[in-house]
Amino acid sequence: MVVFSEDHIKETTRRGRIEVICGSMFSGKTEELIRRLKRAKFAKQRVEIFKPAIDVRYSEENVVSHDSHTISSTPIDSSASILLFTSEIDVVGIDEAQFFDKGLVNVCNQLANDGVRVIVAGLDMDFRGVPFGPMPELCAIADEVSKVHAICVKCGELASFSHRTVNNDKQVLLGETAEYEPLCRRCYQEAMEEDKKKRE
């Protein structure tokens, strides 16, 4: 007789839910998303991963973390497209959710209500410290929210803010360490004051 552990039963029972992984740049959001999705695949679940088509920093098709962990994905332009690919799917992963339209909230709710486990990763705030895209609403409807942190490059404390180090006011600016740095609240406020003085 095979006895399954409680974790195994939780992983394999089809129960709709929404899990949100949020935080600043370089906090390990995508890495955690990939870890959960690979675990679901290991549990023989049917998994589909989506990312915004505009995010081609590391790969046009794969979801890739800053630490170069990777998992294959489907790039899409609209959140509504997710529903076209998710029949017969147990787990849906969505990376860089902040870049999707507001319709993503209804899509995630519909999937979860249909018994799909939905795992969403994204920036909770933009470079101005303002809630980003559909992320606030996703956090509100989620069954579980995991806020992950980077390390402040100025003082070594936990970082929750993504400071843009280049002069560009567009909300969406894909970038890496050349364009962004993770900062704690105090260092972020100081950096924003310095930026303001430079513009004056």
Domain ranges of the chain: 14-148
- Mean pLDDT of the chain, nearest integer: 86
pLDDT tens-digit map of 18-28:
999 999 999 99
Instruction: Determine the Cα–Cα distance for residues 90 and 48; give it in Å rounded to an integer.
Output: 8
Q: Which residues are catalytic?
A: 96
Give the SS3 label for residue 45: coil
Closest by Cα among 140, 145, 70 to 109: 140
pLDDT in tens, 82-112: 999 888 999 999 999 999 999 999 999 999 9
Query: Per CATH, which fold does 14-148 belong to?
Result: Rossmann fold (3.40.50)
**Alpha carbon of residue 66 to chain centroid:** 13
Beta-carbon contacts of 1 under 8 Å, excluding residues fewer than 6 positions away, are none
For residue 131, give the DSSP letter: B
CA distance 92 to 53: 17
Integer Cα distance of 43 and 117 in angstroms: 13
Report the alpha-carbon distance of residue 172 to residue 130 in Å, rounded: 12
- End-to-end C-alpha distance for the chain, whole angstroms: 74
CA 34 from centre of chain: 10
- What's residue 177's pLDDT? 57
The band of 13, judged by pLDDT with boundaries at 50, 70 and 90, is low
pLDDT at 57 over 60: no
Query: Counting runs of H as helices and runs of E as strands, what totals does the chain give?
Result: 5, 12
> What is the pLDDT at residue 176?
57
Q: How many whole angstroms separate alpha carbon 36 and alpha carbon 71?
A: 11
Check residue 179 and give its pLDDT.
85
CA distance 36 to 89: 15
